[in-house]
Amino acid sequence: MIKQLIINDIKSNRLITLSTAVFMAVTAMMLGLSVFLFATLYSSIDSLMTKAETPHFLQMHTGELSEEEICAFAAERHDVEEMQICTFLNLENGQIRIGDTGFDNNMQDNGLFCQSDKFDYLLDAGDNIIHVAPGAVYVPVAYKNEYGIKAGDAMYIGTEKLNVAGFLRDSQMNSMMASSKRFLVNEYDYERLKPLGSEEYLIEFRLRDGSDIGVFSTAYKDAGLPANGPEITYPLIRLMNALSDGIMIIIILLAAFVVLYISVMCIRYIILTQLEKDRREIGMMKAVGLSKKDIRRLYMAKYLLLSVTGCIAGSALACVLAVPLGRNMRELYGEPENAALVYAGMIAGAVLAEAIILSSVRNALRKTEKLSAVAALFGRGGTGRRKNLWIPVSVIIMVSVFMMMVPDSMKKTMSAPDFVRYMGIGNSQIRIDVRQTKDIGSSTDDLASRIVEDSRVSKYSVMRTGSYNAYLPDGSSYDLMLENGNHGIFPVNYLEGTYPVNENEIALSILNSEETGLGIGDSVTVSKTAEGKSVQSTCVICGIYSDITNGGKTAKGCMDDETPAIWSVVYVSLKDNVNADEWISEYSSGTEEDIKIAGISEYMSAMYGQTIRNIGNASVMTKAVACAVIMVVILLLMRLVIWRERMEISLKKALGFTASDIHSDYLKKLVLYLLAGLCLGILSGMMLGQRLAGVLLGFLGAKGFEFTMDQISAFVIIPVLMILSVFAAAAVSLKEIKNIKAYECLNTRE
């Protein structure tokens, strides 16, 4: 009997049934897709880093070193499982060409590398350790789509030729947020091409399980071992790998919760309207002896069937959408180690979405308990106070607009020239990086001298970054990447306080401040070098600033000491009448090969372009989902409104109103609520959107930024999409008015 009742109900309410199933499917798809992508990203990165045996601690070093000293240090450490010293041949990007593509404007530190002996392996597309034949080269997979490189292309380093044999996955440097990229070659070719570049050492350690990487890092520095270059740790590598695609997944998850909210609200209105429509049937069931539990079970059986259908359809759609959205993850990190768990997670996400919806259904069905059998049989009473179905139209349009605005505005914010200030980068016109030269200090001095004498330069600033030991108030030590220079010329964004102006002042990045527990006015002891000796200086925290570079853990000071710089950055702004491209071209050809010069916008695009593109992909998806949802919502709610007001419409026709007149009245009311929803959505996107974007970008270390709204998207594209979706659905729904007859108002008693 229950089966037949459900079938008859579905047949008589096809639109409502279909709409409910669509809501359930879309909700399951969005939440399932978010879990699927997150699990895929986490599992793939973890699998790649495990198979490649990524080092737990890596110290890059340019210059001479004593391998015996490093080996002796490692032998004395009980926490060292394995160590190795690898060489990396830095190449000048202007020398590199693959096919028809030159690397002149590439901002990465590109170089040649031979396969490691013990760990830190470079893997192929099948996650196998690559063995390179002479004359062949494996290219970082990040460049495959970036430059359209194919296997078989010719790679030229100067006049020397190599053939692209395939693409490699580098567990350390896959992400474009990593500043270096390794090309894998045979040992013979490495030696042959060595005169074309400058060699750098990668001092790598694998630690035993349970070892403290921070303690090991401090011990390495205290031992006075080579450290003329950046230090990289296992957690930082994992973070840099995850951030680019992780932001996209978080945006999709946000959209999933918005769709879940819309679904719960709409299905609740569907149920309340259905119960009102069925109140006589409910009364009859109560009159023949069916209990409240039996009646509720009857309705729940229908929604359970729709929920199962929606869960299956949503999971299937999630699998389809995961292919294009996860393509970049699969290319960079490979397939997840345990695909079964990933799919199980996706299904669990879809089931969770359906469980939340069914819980709402169950609560709404309790309204049947308030309806007495006698009142229902005689057409009196109801399942509760009638809800205004027009208000949900505005609310759903508002949250849909908000959902569409956030990724667009995040993309606009990160693309804005001023956003560099929230990344810990000076808002200059040109950025010059001095990183891989043999003598960073003298190279920086020569470059600064040349810029000082250049009349075309409006202002400039030289920043030198060194690695310092800091001692916190509790006596514990802390590694500090301290950037010294005049921070007032191109200041970054300070959340609290201001930049340092005295030698006894330093500013900390937000993540460093949170990790150390230090704030404005607190003191920290920094060990610096003066006259060849180590001197401890007590510094006061004068500012807390936003930063993304170096994993978000940096500090700024203005110390005049002899600590060697592990890299330098020169910021330059030109006078108004100077052509920046010509200036960059002139300086690029007149400086050392390893010094990289680029406009600040090109630098941003090179380092964070992939993240911005991923946010763009998420934006397209949220727009498509929002438009689909809003069409179903309007189609459904308009039909429910027409059903509720069927007698009023019939009476109007009996009084001489035409279907067109009634049609126009509904459209006018719809336009009013549509405009209200659009205005509230844009307003919430402007106000709440900044907070939400702040949470998302806070994962990168960027906080306190000013939200840059994409005005074209907010005031043109999104409203147009909403208007088209709403009116397309309304045009279909309002056709029902023509089917209502004038005499119907005479045949019903309330």
Closest C-alpha to 38, from 329, 358, 471, 426: 329
Q: Are residues 507 and 371 in the same domain?
A: no
Backbone angles phi, psi at 86, to 5 degrees: -110, 160
pLDDT in tens, 699-712: 655 566 666 778 88
CB 83, CB 70: distance < 8 Å: yes
Residues with pLDDT less than 70, the chain: 1-6, 8-9, 12, 276, 278-280, 289-290, 367-387, 436-438, 531-532, 551, 590-594, 690, 693-694, 696-707, 747-750
680 burial type by CB count under 10 A (0-12 exposed, 13-18 middle, 19+ buried)? middle
Q: Are residues 717 and 742 in the same domain?
A: yes
Residue found under tokens 């937000």: 510
Q: Which domain holds residue 271?
A: 1-62+229-387
Task: Determine, yes or no, domain membership for 396.
Answer: yes
Task: Determine, yes or no, domain membership for 431.
Answer: no
Last residue of a domain, one of 228, 253, 278: 228
Q: Rounded to whole angstroms, what are the CA distances from 255 to 32, 265, 397, 671, 674?
A: 12, 15, 14, 25, 20
Q: Using CA atoms, how far apart are residues 19 and 9, in angstroms rounded to an integer? A: 14
Task: Determine, yes or no, domain membership for 430.
Answer: no
Q: Using CA atoms, how far apart are residues 629 and 27, in angstroms rounded to an integer? A: 10
Residue found under tokens 């999104």: 718
pLDDT in tens, 721-741: 999 999 999 988 888 888 888
The 3-state secondary structure of 537-586 reads EEEEEEEEECCCHHHHCCEEECCCCCCCCCEEEEEEEECCCCCHHHHHHH
Q: Are residues 647 and 741 in the same domain?
A: yes
Q: Are residues 70 and 165 in the same domain?
A: yes
Task: Report pLDDT for 750.
Answer: 45
Task: Report pLDDT for 293.
Answer: 74
Which amino acid would we find at residue 682?
Answer: I
**Alpha carbon 467 to chain centroid, angstroms:** 30
Which amino acid would we find at residue 110?
Answer: N
Q: Are residues 168 and 203 in the same domain?
A: yes
Q: Are residues 111 and 173 in the same domain?
A: yes
Residue found under tokens 């005005």: 711
Tell me 129's DSSP state: B
Task: Determine, yes or no, domain membership for 743.
Answer: yes
Q: Are residues 243 and 339 in the same domain?
A: yes
Structure tokens at 669: 């009311």
The partner residues of 538 in beta bridges, in order of sequence, read 525
Parallel, antiparallel, or unpaired: how do β-strands 430-434 and 101-102 relate? unpaired
Closest C-alpha to 604, from 465, 459, 430: 430
Task: Determine, yes or no, domain membership for 407.
Answer: yes
Task: Determine, yes or no, domain membership for 427.
Answer: no
Q: Using CA atoms, how far apart are residues 452 and 371, in angstroms rounded to an integer? A: 86
Q: Are residues 670 and 566 in the same domain?
A: no
Structure tokens at 67: 């391998």
Task: Report pLDDT for 701.
Answer: 54
Task: Report pLDDT for 5.
Answer: 64
Last residue of a domain, one of 228, 253, 270: 228
Task: Report pLDDT for 705.
Answer: 60
Task: Report pLDDT for 437.
Answer: 65
Parallel, antiparallel, or unpaired: how do β-strands 57-61 and 198-207 relate? antiparallel
The partner residues of 162 in beta bridges, in order of sequence, read 155
Whole-prediction pTM: 0.76
Closest C-alpha to 687, from 705, 703, 707: 707
Closest C-alpha to 507, from 489, 519, 516: 519
CB 361, CB 267: distance < 8 Å: yes
Q: Are residues 535 and 631 in the same domain?
A: no
Task: Determine, yes or no, domain membership for 683.
Answer: yes
Q: Are residues 496 and 371 in the same domain?
A: no
Which amino acid would we find at residue 413?
Answer: T
Task: Report pLDDT for 340.
Answer: 86
| Structural domains of the chain, count | 4
Backbone angles phi, psi at 332, to 5 degrees: -75, -40
Q: Using CA atoms, how far apart are residues 360 and 271, in angstroms rounded to an integer? A: 10
Task: Determine, yes or no, domain membership for 428.
Answer: no
Last residue of a domain, one of 173, 208, 228: 228
Parallel, antiparallel, or unpaired: how do β-strands 180-185 and 109-113 relate? parallel
Q: Are residues 540 and 518 in the same domain?
A: yes
Q: Rounded to whole angstroms, what are the CA distances from 253 to 195, 265, 577, 624, 627?
A: 50, 19, 47, 15, 17
What phi-psi label fits residue 99: left (phi over 0), alpha (psi between -120 and 50 degrees) or beta?
Answer: left
Q: Are residues 581 and 617 in the same domain?
A: no
Per residue in 398-431, is it b (16+ CB within 10 Å) or e — as a string?
bbbbbbbbbbbbbbbbbbbeebbbbbbbbbbbbb
Consecutive H or E run containing 310: helix 292-325
CB 336, CB 342: distance < 8 Å: yes
CB 382, CB 290: distance < 8 Å: no
Q: Using CA atoms, how far apart are residues 462 and 445, in angstroms rounded to an integer? A: 9
